[in-house]
Amino acid sequence: MFSWYRQITSRERKTFWACFGGWSLDALEVQMFGLAIPALIAAFALTKGDAGLISGVTLVTSAIGGWVGGTLSDRYGRVRTLQWMILWFSFFTFLSAFVTGFNQLLIVKALQGFGIGGEWAAGAVLMAETINPNYRGKVMGTVQSAWAVGWGLAVGVFTLIYSLVPQDMAWRVMFLVGLLPSLLIIWVRRNVQEPDSFQRLQKENAIPPSFFKSLSGIFRPELLRVTLFGGLLGLGAHGGYHAVMTWLPTFLKTERNLSVLNSGGYLAVIIAAFWCGCVVSGFLIDRIGRRKNIILFALCCVITVQCYVFLPLSNTQMLFLGFPLGFFAAGIPASLGALFNELYPADVRGAGVGFCYNFGRVLSAVFPFLVGHMSESMSLGSAIGIDAGIAYGVAVIAALCLPETRGRNLEAPIQAQPASGSSNDTARA
């Protein structure tokens, strides 16, 4: 499954490790906040609503950062933007260690989220434009699995720090660790080159004359349909994930009285499953195509959720069922990076990728809300099942309305590409 690593060039390997490291550290920073929430509630007398507001605002700013960061990468370069965004989110994570109240924490976390979103967008475009189309899906799926690695690292760092440092100071020490990702900039600066496609844009003076023209370029008439359905795909993928992950723990605890959710074993299963799901999804999208893979994982997600909701599960059964849940939930996001990059021309590729992926992240908040609202007139399990089905249904419809892009040469004009079916698998980006 990893034979591609021996076949890619030295330049591709260096790019791979730069983006894998960046996305791992993204996850580390995000998950550290989640783990520190109980300590922050105690330190600043926060309510759960306050903590939820911080998470929500961070989600919104990360979405804005993804679109803006992607646009900056179209104008100033993928590598340069990657460096800026790593430095940005590292600095504000570090600054989180010195906050003294709710308002300061809210502002700092919001600014941190902006950098994390921008880093993902710049890294996704950099990877897509550098990697051979034959392996693009596998490599980007593996890079997406870095989220599981960062998640696991966050749990390890949390456990270590809280075992060595007094609890009232431990969360501050955790955020101090946030400065470490800035060291990745040294690696990026020394080892990663701008993709040939961006260098060609610079030589041909094909970059839009203003930032706002770059930002809005994805709404050009010839790209409007792609942007619309790409955004809907992001909405369905993230909406289904949040509908399930937000309410499923509550359902299992309150209506099924299961306790395994609080165990480290369940968390380990979910993390391992997420990693496996990303890697397998990356393998499949290069074999069966982007659209078929998204549809396959969406349908499997729906089936898995229905099993959770309607089958009488014991703690042991739920522990084992956690693997397919994490596995299939990871598969769709792992497909999006390659697909979105292949839908746009080089001059607005960063803006397109950042918008489609993050548009869904922001609006996906409507699905957890709908679950809560619907649960007032029906069982919580039924509400979760219905809303997850709707969200993943949106993802399936959007995928069917988008062209198949497997093997697409990112240097060729988008208009010249076939609307469906496989493209030239031997072309290099």
Residue type, 11: R
Structural domains of the chain, with CATH: 1-186 (1.20.1250.20), 216-423 (1.20.1250.20)
**Rounded CA gap, 192 and 127, in Å?**
11
| Cβ–Cβ < 8 Å for 72, 123 | no
Which pTM does this prediction carry? Answer: 0.83
- Total count of residues recorded for the chain: 429
DSSP state, residue 364 = T
pLDDT digits over 45-63, tens only?
Answer: 888 778 778 877 888 888 8
Residue-wise pLDDT for 373-395, tens only, equals 888 888 888 888 888 899 999 99
| pLDDT tens by residue, 179-194 | 776 777 777 767 788 8
What DSSP designation does 217 have?
Answer: G
DSSP letter assigned to residue 4: H
Q: What is the pLDDT of residue 228?
A: 93
The per-residue pLDDT for 424 is 42
How is residue 421 written in tokens?
A: 């079916």
pLDDT at residue 106 greater than cutoff 80: yes
Phi, psi dihedral angles at 210 (to 5 degrees): -135, 160
Are 281 and 338 in contact, with CB atoms under 8 Å apart?
A: no
Judged by average pLDDT, the poorest of 203-217, 252-266, 372-386 is 252-266
> Mean pLDDT throughout 84-106?
89
Q: Is the pLDDT of residue 419 over 50?
A: no
| One-character DSSP codes across 160-177 | HHHHHS-HHHHHHHHHHG
- Between 78-87, 143-152, 241-250, the lowest mean confidence (pLDDT) is in 241-250
CA distances 150 to 21, 175, 382, Å, are 9, 14, 33
Rounded to an integer, what distance in angstroms lies between the CA atom of residue 90 and that of residue 349? 25
Contacts of 45-51 with C-beta under 8 Å, sequence gap 24+, read 46/102, 50/102
**Lowest mean pLDDT across 10-14, 81-85, 123-127, 306-310:** 306-310
